[in-house]
Amino acid sequence: MASHGGGGAAEVIEIGLRSGVKVHLAHWRTSPHQAGRTDEIMAEIDAAKQRGLDITLDAYPYPSGSTMPVCRLPGWAVEGGPAAVMRRLADRRDRARIVADLDKRYGETFGDTVFTYIGSAKNRALEGMDWRTAARQAGESVPEMVCRVMLEEELVCGLLVAPPRSARIWRQMEDDVMTLIRRPDYMVGSDSIPVGGKPHPRAYGTYPKILGRLRRRTGDPLEQLIQRMTDNPARRFGLKQRGRIAAGYFADIVVFDPDRINDRATYEDPAVAPVGISYVAVNGRLALDGGRLTGALAGEAIP
């Protein structure tokens, strides 16, 4: 969840404190209007920790996110699951109510959103297209177009939120992420959705961006950043015998040049591999050998 998620954190905190369960907040970072104010977004977290809450968090180094259009619908519209959503989108009265809600909540900013993937060939040309252009071509408002596409695609479509236009805010939000992951209760998570023709660049760039350009900019210790990417998540989520290089552990190993590693994925051209990574072993088998993919598929479900 984003730090500006409209009270979601308060609900998670209350559940954790009242039940005693461990909790985790994903994508907890500053938003464009909070850039530079990490203390502000951590205030309620730190207050809850003082009350005994066991909480961890994660973030990725990009100023906007990616999800599915159905996640933008009002709460009442998604009650009952996908089949119920489809019925409401097909119902003229319910659809008009959804359109009105989307228009009220998002307004003009909705048009800057981009389709990342489309499930069928019928609308495949929309991949990578911003919603304002797609709506104009269809002679519809943006909310009307989005509802129609969701219905036609049976909800199988994705979106990418446009990043801020200000380079200053963009850079500050990157620095904010580096500030946050210095905390021992933080980890790095890409939230990758690697499908479609225009995925979010985080799918290809999250880890090399932090280990490369951002580390070189901020001077953060390499070993600390690696710990946030490996040992922290493994321990938090109970991934046994993973997250460290140790005897008896699964050999999930990345060999990279700390002076060369960098991301190349951008919002405009997201499906681009990083540089500076020579070898990747998954469960002891090389998936990347000398910078070349081997075709080995050694991953397995983790019980």
Q: Give the pLDDT band of residue 80 (cuts 50, 70, 90).
A: very high
Q: Give the pLDDT band of residue 3 (cuts 50, 70, 90).
A: very low
Q: Give the pLDDT band of residue 117 (cuts 50, 70, 90).
A: very high
Each residue of 34-56: pLDDT tens digit?
999 999 999 999 999 999 999 99
> What pLDDT shows up at residue 217?
98
With a cut of 60, say whether residue 257 has pLDDT above it: yes
Question: What is the number of alpha carbons within 13 Å of residue 291 lying toward its C-beta?
Answer: 8
- Answering whether pTM is above 0.85, one says yes
Q: What does residue 22 show for φ and ψ, rounded to 5 degrees? A: -75, 145
Q: Which has more confidence, 109 or 31?
A: 31
How many whole angstroms from its chain centre is CA 70? Answer: 16
DSSP line for the chain: --TTSSSHHHHHHHHHHHH---EEETT----GGGTT-HHHHHHHHHHHHHTT--EEEEE-S-SS-EE-GGGGS-HHHHTT-HHHHHHHHHSHHHHHHHHHHHHHHHGGGGGG-EEEEESSSTTGGGTT-BHHHHHHHHTS-HHHHHHHHHHHTTT-EEEEPPPPS-HHHHHHHHHHHHHHTTSTTEEE-------SSS--THHHHHHHHIIIIIHHHH---HHHHHHHHTHHHHHHTT-TT-SS--TTS---EEEE-TTT-B----SSS-----BSEEEEEETTEEEEETTEE----------
Q: How far apart are CA 27 and CA 137, in angstroms?
A: 34
Q: Which two tokens stand for residue 269?
A: 């051209």
> What pLDDT shows up at residue 5?
46
Each residue of 163-200: pLDDT tens digit?
999 999 999 999 999 999 999 999 999 988 888 888 99
Q: Give the pLDDT band of residue 7 (cuts 50, 70, 90).
A: low
Scan for tokens 């998954």, then name that residue: 282
How many whole angstroms from its chain centre is CA 54? Answer: 23
> What pLDDT shows up at residue 8?
80
> What pLDDT shows up at residue 2?
47
Scan for tokens 């977290």, then name that residue: 45
In whole numbers, what is the pLDDT of the chain averaged over residues?
A: 95
Each residue of 122-137: pLDDT tens digit?
999 999 999 999 999 9
**CB contact set of 5 (below 8 Å; sequence gap of 6+):** none
- E-strand ranges in 46-134 read 55-59, 66-67, 114-118
> What pLDDT shows up at residue 34?
94
Scan for tokens 């005693």, then name that residue: 20
Q: Give the pLDDT band of residue 109 (cuts 50, 70, 90).
A: confident
Q: Give the pLDDT band of residue 1 (cuts 50, 70, 90).
A: low
